[in-house]
Chain A
């Protein structure tokens, strides 16, 4: 289905091949329903907000996947430290740790074995997650900075819509007042007096 922008003048947000255009359109329409943009400027801000939120979702997804991807290496690293007996070098338990880390994802027996090893040191599976986060902390920090910046821009864009709307309302109120006060239209008595002067 082709992606239709309500105002075709605004450039469409390019998506990754793996992203769903329908999902983006649904998100965009949800914002339009909520904000009800009037005019191109408000439409521009709504488009901006949808694009930013879409990118926030993309980066958040990445964050989770980056942590999950680091799980195997994290588990292996942790097991190497936990399996090592006093006087033993890490490389001596490397093969065992690698084999256990590889089968941990699919084999219940390996999962049980890892759990027992962790319990021996008063640890649980959250220790694996912590190690995965530690190993990917440089990437996560960069991602977090980008997310913070995007979230602040999203809030600013929302503020801009409100500010623009308030300014427009103020402008409309002022011109309405001008008409009510008779400054914007010719008064009837003025028109009549002008006619009598001319006569």
Chain B
């Protein structure tokens, strides 16, 4: 168990940990929870709002009941969220199929092995230019290892984005649950 002195020191130290102080740090920390951006509400987007309104009207019918309209809006929002996540899934697979990976290739780094070769060259020929006889091979690009024929290319693209697809699947499941709950609420209200 921590002593009184340790507890006091912990408290003193904790008071120093008040998060980022610079504007850049605060901005960066503000995006800590950012994952895929699918949880952001799209109702502020004009085209989405129009699509949403039309769907709400279709679900609610010609009712003037504000609660029914609200429930119908929840159903429509969840349904459009589902469509959004499905679009994102397909876009990810297409991107991996086109570029071989999701993130842009990193600048090539010198591996320990390559560095060892340079050091050996220096030891062998001290005073000689290092580049003589020492070449750094470019790493094999992700696109180069993509199969060129279907269905192998699509399957490889899916394989490469499997962790991301799984995360989107979880989001999709939650959107579907939200929609089902909203539909149930709507039945209750319409009874």
Residues of A within 8 A of B (CB): 7, 9-11, 13-18, 40-41, 44, 48, 51, 55, 58-59, 61-62, 65-66, 69, 139, 142-143, 145-146, 149-150, 153, 156-157, 160, 164, 167-168, 171, 174
Q: Is the CB of B180 within 8 A of A160?
A: yes
Query: Which chain A residue lies CB-closest to B163?
Result: A142
A143 and B152 in contact, given A149-B169, A156-B180 (Cβ under 8 angstroms): no
Selected from B87, B155, B173, B187, the residue in CB contact (under 8 A) with A66 is B155
Cα A119 to Cα B127 in complex, Å, equals 60
Q: Is the CB of A13 within 8 A of B58?
A: no
Selected from B54, B169, B187, the residue in CB contact (under 8 A) with A146 is B169
Residues of A within 8 A of B154 (CB): 16, 18, 62, 65
Report how many residues on chain B are interfacial, defined by Cβ distance under 8 Å.
Answer: 43
A13 and B86 in contact, given A18-B150, A62-B159, A143-B162 (Cβ under 8 angstroms): yes
Residues of B within 8 A of A62 (CB): 154-155, 158-159
Cα A156 to Cα B173 in complex, Å, equals 11
**Nearest 3 A-B pairs (CB), nearest first?**
A65-B155, A11-B83, A14-B90
Residues of A within 8 A of B55 (CB): 9-10, 40
Residues of A within 8 A of B74 (CB): none
B interface SS class: helix
Q: Is the CB of A149 within 8 A of B173?
A: yes
Selected from B80, B156, B159, the residue in CB contact (under 8 A) with A11 is B80
Selected from A41, A55, A69, A171, the residue in CB contact (under 8 A) with B183 is A41
Residues of B within 8 A of A150 (CB): 169
Cα A31 to Cα B30 in complex, Å, equals 45
B68 near A: Cβ within 8 Å?
A: no
Question: In the assembled complex, how far is the CB of residue B79 from the closest CB belonging to chain A, in whole angstroms?
Answer: 6
Cα A58 to Cα B90 in complex, Å, equals 11
Question: In the assembled complex, how far is the CB of residue A187 from the closest CB belonging to chain B, in whole angstroms?
Answer: 24
Cα A174 to Cα B191 in complex, Å, equals 9
Most buried by A among B151, B152, B162: B162
A44 and B90 in contact, given A62-B158, A65-B155, A146-B169 (Cβ under 8 angstroms): no
Residues of A within 8 A of B165 (CB): 146
B176 near A: Cβ within 8 Å?
A: yes
Q: Is the CB of A139 within 8 A of B159?
A: yes
